[in-house]
Structure 1
Amino acid sequence: MKCPCMVDRKCSKHFPNFFSNDTCIDTNGFPIYRRRDDGSYVEKSGVKLDNRSVVPYNKVLLRRYQAHINVEWCNQVGSIKYLFKYINKGPDRATLSVVENNNEDNNEQTVDEINEYYDCRYVSACEASWRIFSYDVHYRTPSVMRLPFHLPGQQQVVYGAYDDIDNILNKPYVASSMFLSWMMCNKKYEEARELTYVEFPTKFVYKVPNRCWEPRKKGFSIGRIHSVSPALGEAYFLRILLNKVKGPTSFEDIRTVNGHVNATFRDACYDLGLLDDDMEYIEAIQEASHSASGYYLRSLFATMLMSNSLSRPDFVWEKTWKYLSDDILYNQKILLNNQDLLLTGDQTKNLTLLQIEKFLLRNNSTLRNYNTMPYPDDESISSAQNRFITEELSYDIHLLEKELHTLLNQLTNEQRNVFNKVMTAVKDNKGCVFFLYGYGGTGKTFLWKTLSAAIRCKGQIVLNVASSGIASLLLTGGRTAHSRFLIPLNLNEDSICRIKPGSEVAHLISQTQLIIWDEALML
């Protein structure tokens, strides 16, 4: 607007009329550029492209940035990937090398697989520094995938850390989701009741402002439902039904099979014949019971649970619990030193479930992840004592006494001095912290073993932890500090150990006499 040619906010220059039957000046005095059809064209995929197919300029961007800018629509994944790589690749460059060919046959090229591998992957200094400083490579909001369906009363709500909760709950999408609007549309349109949820976008389109589905007037769209892991339980079985059920107007209609309303989506899938009857798993446990121990059968059942291959875990449990509890009574007799012990059926089930729960916990799972599976009651858990405490008190005291006698005779004067100070603090129940420093090979691990044997042979608890898994293997009963004390992997100023009051870990620590933390400075 500050150019001398601008008069009354219009361009005063007289641009020639290049095109016949076209106006070359718009109402604001700016030239209108058009590509002429001079008969020249190229053909691509059966389409003839001439000068008019060239991307025209954008007047707004040209005036704003004083530069020739072509505007295109990136609608391919490769284009997005190119943009992300382009901003980090640095200046253009070329790497050349001159090598000598020692082959006798000049026609045969030297094959260097290592160099060929490096040639396939090039990381510039800009991208390397970006990744070293852990900057985000891509962004996603929200960070979790939003499913196009949800369980009753469990629609997803996305909000910021400082958003007002009342404003969030009053948003339209909370009261009426796309999935709920689909059921309302089935009530309104008769033709909608002939389509499944996946087929719905072919005949209907979702209007975001109105929060409703309306008949499609033009175009075509293919519906798709995101895959769901079987570990999600009912959400997984709901997804299966959405590919089969047509025209439901409520969640009860989705669970209805031949006029019968099932209690869960899993049962509905089973009635429709979409799930197996799990008889092959029951027969596998029955067959293994002829030669395998109860411990092996319980491990087998827990493995089946974690693999998410059982359609109805509760059904398999009811059919096989007698096989899984084969040695429960025998073990309890030994544990309680009572050969006349008798257990009821419920007590046997509880103890069997407790053993299965222990196996699952060691593999980062739990019976609570399977809604239809029963869970051992608190009485049976307390009667069997804390599993962590039981593990720490399961050492053979007689063998530890012999080992301690051998280890004490091999201590040096310096090591014995440290041993006496630590054991005195343990004996007097003093809250002390000792720091032992020494180079590699000076016998620190040997001293840890001696202290552990001295405390464990008295029926007391000592926790051996280390900063890494490899270091923990050198300690008797060693664990990583992150695993034992539930330390978060990603630390910040607000990080705490997630040890809940009254939990098994809390009781374990309260009864511990000594904690040996190897390589503590590494953390």
Structure 2
Amino acid sequence: MYSVEWQKRGLPHAHILLWMFDKIRPDHIDSIISAEIPDKQTDPELHSIVTTSMIHGPCGVHNPESVCMKNGNCTKRFPRPLTAETISGNDGYPLYRRRSPDDNGKWIELMVKRNETNVTVIVDNRWIVPYCPLLSKTFSTHCNVEYCNSIKSIKYVCKYVNKGSDMAVFGIADPNANDEVTKFQLGRYVSCNEAIWRLFSLPIHERYPTVVHLSVHLENGQRVYFTDTNAAQRAERPPATTIDDWT
């Protein structure tokens, strides 16, 4: 299932959830998802994509005025802890391998704007957003990939994929005034890109396979409505229900 939404700057991005037919084992995660800076000599293309598109911030002490900072802490929980191996987490998401520079982990120098001045900081694997090397090289853009292995994380992802607008407006008004059109316009921001997307009827969300509601009933207990004109026909050939067709 997927859902396309737009940022306040008008840039579209998609939230996609995939259920894998073959279960991914913990020892397979590193071959699919990485949270490390790749070797520049071995794969210069991937190194360029990761260092330009998959670095969070850096924020915190490097940039306290970053948009992700709230009450002195990063809302995205960066920087992440350094770990030598990928291990299972307590919230349904694994702690991806993030090797330190002392353990052959890579690092780069990055220019960060702080107090109207540019400062050079050292960025290591603690600041890398998890990604899939294959997808990153295919699309050459920011593409966050996560592995979910608990019902709590799947419920959250389903909610996140189907979430609505994140803008809210409140105020004091006449209790007898109820202008629903104005409320809707004030509570939602539609960029020009989203407007064009909707005018051309491009797909915004999809779920496959489609979930179909089945009318559950006991065997030979489905409801049949009779009239004077169809009583004999319904008695001989009762209409099929969704659960009968499915079974």
Same fold at TM > 0.5: no
Pick the TM interval, shorter chain: under 0.3
Higher share of residues assigned helix: 1
When the two structures are superposed, what TM-score results if normalisation uses the length of structure 2? 0.26
Structure number with larger C-alpha Rg: 1
When the two structures are superposed, what TM-score results if normalisation uses the length of structure 1? 0.15
Higher share of residues assigned strand: 2
Structure number with greater CO (CA < 8 Å, separation at least 6) is 2
